[in-house]
Structure 1
Amino acid sequence: MNSKRENISKALIRYIPACYIPYVVDLMFSEKLAFRISKPRKTKAGDYRPPFNGEPHRISINGDLNPYAFLITTVHEFAHMTTHVKYGGKVLPHGIEWKNEFKRLLIPVLEQKELPETIEKALMRSLHNLKASSCSDIHLMRALREFNEVDHDMELLENIGNNMYFRLGKMTFQRGILRRRKYLCTEVKTGKKYLVNRLAEVEPLKDE
């Protein structure tokens, strides 16, 4: 068992700040779990699947996240797991039960006092008014993005201007109006409307 924990700890070094690895490993061994580092996904940073037909809990985290985003996303998904253990599938995915579990699992992370100040402040703010995820908490998302590698071909959607064209994945859009935290964008090829997070990283394009 110890050698397995050590191997997992070594594998996590490239993804999570070293001081938090023991805590994450403890969470991994708290239940029968299949933990996977996933290829980048546009629609989500992490995923939790409950046990089915004797299979273990399953958690997957995108491997391209910066270390702090990987850590917070991992805690987010473990909160789904512990919520399922306590309440089964009878509660809302991001209801009060999940919020309480997320808060409970975040407290040891904050108590270590090893987070950058901007992220710590954003998390403390979240604890008082928890959002569904880091992807819907604008302040936390901004704080986490400070530690992303800079890609000079990409820009935040909120910075490109209304009616400007951009590429997201393999699709081309024209930015429209802001609706709360998302822009209503038109997919050029089909004319379909999509809501896109204001902090999505997109590739700006010249007028089509």
Structure 2
Amino acid sequence: MIEQLQQYIPTNAKENLEYLINKHDFCLKIVKGRKTKRGDFRATQPLATITINNNLTKEQFLITLVHEIAHLHTHIHYPRVKPHGMEWKQCFKQLMLPFLTPTVFDEPLLKHLAKHLINPKATTDSDIKLSVVLQEKKNTNRHHNYYIFDLKPGTLFSLNNRTFKVLNKRRTRYECLEIETKKRYLIKGNAPVDIV
């Protein structure tokens, strides 16, 4: 299985990832990119199934795969716990430790990833600084000028070929008005956008 993954992961992650993958049997599927998630874990029979999007950077692919393998390990040892509860957090941190080296992740990403792993969230998108570093790695070909958290209220911006206006900040999201439909949306502050 590790040979199939080489094109998706950082080169120096291969050995530790191979050990992790061989620890428990599961079915791994690399699927077309989805907007709503990067990967998922399902406790299917006879083998659990993990899916990972094929359009991730090598670093994001590795983080997502280890995240989902942590769900597998947690399910095996604690079958009736919350998906991102304390048991999963501990497992995810433990499984990520061998990868936290500058030979796998570059220094800016490594710094933010290490902080994230102190108390990991359900998604790296919940960690604004980490998600920005990961997005910048992904968007080397297509550069967005701003993130919503950079914009002042009243600023017009483009996101997914739609035009919005920033209204105000709510806790971690921003209330925005879609110009065409006049509908209001809450959008994450780390969404990469272009000013109109």
* Interval containing the TM-score (normalised by the shorter chain): 0.7 to 0.9
1:138 partnered with 2:131:
no
Q: In the alignment, what sits opposite 2:18?
A: 25
Q: Tell me by how many angstroms 1:17 deviates.
A: 0.7
Q: List gaps (5 residues or longer) in structure 1.
A: 1-7
Letter in 2 for 1:143: V
Residues 148-168 of structure 1: CA deviation (Å, up to 9, x unaligned): 223146642333443334444
Secondary structure in structure 1 of the residue aligned to 2:167: coil
Q: Could you tell which deviates more after superposition, 37-46 or 93-102?
A: 37-46
The reply to whether residue 58 of structure 1 matches residue 49 of structure 2 is: yes
Within a 5 Å distance, the mapping from 1:98-177 to structure 2 comes to 98-110=88-100, 113-148=103-138, 149-152=140-143, 155-169=146-160, 172-177=163-168
2:65 to 67, 74, 78: 74
> What secondary structure does 2:100 align onto?
helix
Whether the aligned pair in 2 keeps the contact of 1:165 and 1:175 (CA below 8 Å) is yes
Where in structure 2 are there 5+ consecutive unaligned residues?
none
Match of 2:28 in 1: 35
Q: Deviations over 1:92-142 (max 9, x none)?
A: 121111110111111111257532111221122123233332111122212
CA RMSD in angstroms, aligned pairs only? 2.5
Give the match's secondary structure for 2:126. Answer: coil
- SS of equivalent to 1:10: helix
TM-score (norm: length of structure 2): 0.84
Q: Is the aligned partner of 1:180 residue 2:171?
A: yes
Note if contact 1:45-1:73 (Cα within 8 Å) is conserved in structure 2: yes
Distance 2:187 2:172 in 1: 8
Amino acid of the structure 1 residue aligned with 2:37: K
The percentage of counterpart residues that share the same residue type is 36
Deviations 1:30-56 (A, max 9, x none): 3332212222222222222222xx242
> Deviation of residue 190 (structure 1)?
4.7
Structure 1 letter corresponding to 2:84 = H
**Match 2:188 to one of 176, 193, 197:** 197
Q: CA shift at 1:10, angstroms?
A: 3.2
Report the equivalent of 1:3. none
TM-score w.r.t. the length of structure 1 is: 0.79
1:196 Cα shift?
A: 1.6
Counterpart of 1:114 in structure 2: which amino acid?
A: V
Change (3 A) 1:201 1:56: farther
Counterpart-to-counterpart distance in 2, 1:202 and 1:112: 30
Change (3 A) 1:203 1:143: closer
